[in-house]
Chains A and B, each alone.
Chain A
Amino acid sequence: MATLTDTRKQQVRRELDSMLGRGGVLSDPDELLVYESDGLTLFRALADFVVFPTSTEQVAAIVKLANRENLPFVARGAGTGLSGGCLPSEGGIVISLMRMNRVLEVDYDNQIAVVEPGLVNLHLSWKVGPRGYYYAPDPSSQQACTIGGNIANNSGGPHTLKYGVTTNHVLGLEVVMPDGEIVWLGGKTRETPGYDVVGVFVGSEGTFGIATKIVVRILKKPQAVKTVLAVFNEVNRASAAVSAIIARGLVPAAVEMIDQLTMQAVEDAFGCGYPRDAAAALLIEIDGLAVGMETLADRIVEACRECGARDVRTARDETERQLLWKGRKSAFGAYGRISPAYMVMDGVIPRTKLPYVLGRVNEIVGAHGLRVGNVFHAGDGNLHPNILYDPRIEGEEARVVAAGAEIMKVCAEVGGSISGEHGIGLEKADFMPFIFSAADLELMTRLKAAFNPTNLCNPGKIFPTKKSCVEVGPVAYRPHAIEAKGLAQRF
């Protein structure tokens, strides 16, 4: 990969200017600073250029220019990612898709929408909401994150338990390939002949090309929704209730667990009605037909009570339901009241292993002299332990990093995965050998070569670096500049 001389850089800048017009290119180091990291702020890297195309053709032209100049490039949405996936880790061009944010087409009869990658996730649900539809994948950052970024990360969210993750809702993609060619993968129909290239593109973390149009499914809003809060005096009992609900043949839309430390922080911050003295609570949501909703809710209440819930209550109305969800979705922000910093982990385990793994997480974090708050998608077994610490205390960050690596190893040992929704990016590249053999990784490398043979498209991500050893842990959380100023919040 090339490094540009100052003269060449000026020439490229002029060429980009003529391609994208005024205001379409940044190359001043002060301006580039905004794009030096994503939601994981410890990794920082400056690009040579940040560009803002408004059409597929412009994206293709930029990519062709990058190829000609042998410059690495990376697509970027809202920058809410949590694994450093959209960093220009080896310089080059950041292609921001934030100006390609239109809903191009909505076909209600066929329940599909065609959107541009820079569209904010929630804005699609707003657009189709008045007609009774919504876009199902709901990452907690959905007020800010883009659908293009969701494609890269195969993003999930609380309601993926019943409705699946991003890949289950994507039918087709117009892609600018890493060599600049524009190709359609999949389409508007449920099946297209040939390999499921859409399925492998989704979740490829920006290493297979840049999606410029996206065909997604939209769903009818359910007729009825019911939200239940079950309160437990022991975490193990709450974990057991998750399995008990499943064992009763129920598949709720969401089953979220919130531990005591988190509930206390949430109550301090927002007062959402969570019990401060309980060890854990489950936030359970069922949706579907109005008929039978009471019966299903009763079954859930019964399962929770049998597992020793001390209190189980149903949200009386939409206001109370929204309040409970606000507490869940604002938990990360609430940690700010009880700790100067925290690191969010993302791991997945078989849900029957919850009691064991939560116990191990507490042991590991305790052994490092730290505190942990757990708020996570219990129904899918997708853990988010949040390790609280003070970066001003010498050595504390290093202990957080070490604890995080140990937690990932526990997830791997019980047959789980090192990421459920945040991705590998830069953060976890060196953890890949925890769950994949050399042969597995070699096949992934071959697949990457089929899409991205020159490796100019988002280099340095996903695959372990040869130089580092696996004991080098993930990095600790530091607030982004805009977050420190209170302009943005993490979820």
Chain B
Amino acid sequence: MEAALLDKVRSVVGADHVLTGVDLSPFVIEGRTPDAAVFPGSTEEARAVVALAAEHAVPIMPWGGGTAAAVGLPVAWSGLVLGLTRLNRIVEHEPGDLTVTVEAGLTLGALQAALHARGQWLSLDPPEPDRATLGGIIAVNAAGPRRHLYGTARDLLIGVTVVTGNGAVVRGGGKVVKNVAGYDLPKLFIGSYGTLGVITEMTLKLRPVPDHERFVAVSFERMKEAGGCVRAIMASDLIPAVIDLLDSEAMRALALRGPALVVGFDGLAEQVDWQCRELVRIASGFSGRDAGPLTPEVAARLGTAARDAFPQPASVMHFSVLPTHVADTIEQATSAARSRGLVSAWAAHAGVGVVTGALASTRTQATGPVVSALDDWRTIAHANSGFATLESAPLAVKAAVPVWDDMGAVARVMQRIKAQLDPTNILNPGRFVAGI
């Protein structure tokens, strides 16, 4: 990178907020070191940095807490990490409006603490809340078990401020909970992996903190029965906030027996009690047993139970299938891995069909069986009318197994959106689907 560009960047954000050399070690991804990490102190500074990068055709890698930085393909060539952690203010919280406007670098944990003090919360519970920033959560569409009832970023994000690839500050949506003026720009940036713009500020819908919440685990003899129980719960009058399905490996990570369902309820005490009783009644029809409450600490680890089953998983794959196919997908994928001599662990947000599978690493570290198992898994996902994303794997595996599914005809639409919003292709080039 030209020294002149770095000097210009320093003059925008201040020399203290530009890291180079050995200070870049936290930002090394897959063995690749960026040229510098730049930390703007305002949306305007972020805009100026992106404009400079665009002028010099240098890639920009937006960076929040770094919790999902390795998801996707590594950026094609070296560039600038644009760190958002200095943008960490709560701009506006009006409890009566059930909305909050925050800067993108604020961590979810810090936001929840501030909201809790006023009886509210953001109904998103992705892993690592103390590291994950709101901008990053939106950019990778991260969610957790409570998405079953409360949805994901697309149900909560109502306004967004972004810096686009051509160095413009753009606001989409607004601060009100209902709004159909113009195109729904916030949706565009959710799950876009930093390829369409750098999110610097956002407005989110909030909910009141429920009076009570309880998570109950029920064990089953076989995965199939747990799957049947999910179907019965969905068809019942219960209104669970969580229906997670975990295999025995993932449950072991929580020091519990599996396969099991973890079902969460919230609301008035009498509502939680009644629903827990109903759950036990329904589960008994599927030979569910040993129902017991989970502590909040264990409940907080549900979202990462599959990958936590192994000290260093060889690979993690994320699936989206129809809810009724979850148990079958897990069973088929488990035996596919086993036939390659590999152990796997599984956790699913079963009511919405979102499944995570992790492969244990082998003693030989050979990639062949891992690649074969992941190929099998993707085939199983497609056969269950779903999708698969290779969420985490060494580069050698990513070289053999595509990170993203082939998008088919819709790829062209997405490529045209990318070309319109980032014409010089500097925002995370090559990281995302369809070569975007």
Contacts and interface: CB of A to CB of B under 8 A. Distances in A.
Interface of A: 107-111, 153-154, 156, 160, 164-165, 167-168, 177, 181-185, 187-197, 199-200, 202-204, 220, 223, 243, 246-251, 288-292, 295-296, 348-352, 377, 380-382, 415-424, 428, 432, 435-437, 439-444, 446-451, 453, 462
A199 B154 contact: yes
A193 B387 contact: yes
A417 B410 contact: no
A419 B180 contact: yes
Given A185-B410, A189-B353, A288-B239, A416 B176 contact: yes
Nearest to B151: A168
B172 A419 contact: no
A448 B170 CA distance: 16
Contacts of A436: 171, 181-182
Contact of B208 (A251, A290, A351, A377): A251
B420 A449 contact: yes
Given A204-B183, A416-B176, A444-B185, A291 B270 contact: yes
B231 interface: yes
Contact of B409 (A181, A250, A441): A181
Interface in B217-258: 231, 234-235, 237, 239
Contact of B174 (A292, A380, A417, A448): A417
A195 B141 CA distance: 10
15 contacts: A154-B180, A189-B353, A189-B386, A190-B353, A193-B389, A195-B196, A246-B96, A289-B267, A295-B268, A348-B176, A417-B180, A424-B182, A443-B164, A443-B172, A444-B185
A153 B386 contact: no
Given A288-B267, A292-B267, A450-B419, 18 more contacts: A110-B322, A167-B154, A167-B184, A182-B409, A191-B320, A191-B387, A195-B196, A196-B154, A199-B154, A200-B183, A200-B188, A247-B95, A289-B237, A292-B270, A435-B174, A437-B170, A437-B171, A446-B420
B183 A415 contact: no
A132 to B, nearest CB: 8
B266 to A, nearest CB: 11
B137 to A, nearest CB: 15
Contact of A251 (B174, B207, B412, B433): B207
A329 to B, nearest CB: 18
Given A197-B413, A352-B96, A450-B416, A382 B178 contact: yes
A316 B283 CA distance: 36
Interface residues of B, number: 82
Contact of B413 (A382, A448, A451): A451
B343 interface: no
A328 to B, nearest CB: 17
Nearest to B419: A450
B324 interface: yes
Interface string B196-228: 100000000001111100000000000000000
B187 interface: yes
A386 B389 CA distance: 50
Interface in B259-274: 267-268, 270-271, 274
A379 to B, nearest CB: 9
Contact of B187 (A167, A192, A220): A167
A193 B404 contact: yes
A440 B180 contact: no
Nearest to B271: A292
Contacts of A351: 96-97
B413 A193 contact: no
A249 B209 CA distance: 7
Contacts of A451: 413, 416
A185 to B, nearest CB: 6
A190 B175 contact: no
Contacts of A439: 168-170
A381 B172 CA distance: 19
Interface string B148-164: 00011011000000001
B94 A352 contact: yes
Contact of B385 (A189, A423, A453): A189
Contacts of B152: 190
B407 A380 contact: no
Given A183-B413, A296-B268, A195 B188 contact: yes
A289 B356 CA distance: 31
B275 interface: yes
Contacts of A191: 141, 320, 354, 387
A199 B409 contact: no
Given A110-B324, A183-B410, A292-B270, A448 B183 contact: yes
A414 to B, nearest CB: 9
B352 interface: yes
Nearest to A166: B180
Nearest to B385: A188
B178 A348 contact: yes
B164 A194 contact: no
B242 to A, nearest CB: 15
Nearest to A354: B96
Contacts of B231: 109
A83 to B, nearest CB: 9
B99 interface: yes
A167 B179 CA distance: 11
Given A195-B417, A289-B239, A382-B178, A111 B234 contact: yes
A250 B169 CA distance: 36
B132 interface: no
A443 B168 contact: yes
A196 B187 contact: yes
B420 A350 contact: no
B101 to A, nearest CB: 10
Contacts of A194: 404, 407, 410-411, 414, 432-434
Contacts of A453: 416
B117 to A, nearest CB: 14
A169 B177 CA distance: 16
Contacts of B352: 190
Contacts of B416: 449-451, 453
B79 to A, nearest CB: 22
A223 to B, nearest CB: 4
Nearest to A463: B182
Contacts of A248: 208
A490 to B, nearest CB: 19
Interface string B387-421: 10100000000000000110111111110110111
Contacts of A110: 322-324, 353
A189 B387 contact: yes
Contacts of A109: 231, 234-235, 323-324
The interface centre, meaning the residue of B151, B179, B180 with most chain A CB atoms within 10 A of its CB, is B180
Given A109-B235, A202-B184, A291-B270, A246 B98 contact: yes
B162 to A, nearest CB: 9
Nearest to A155: B180
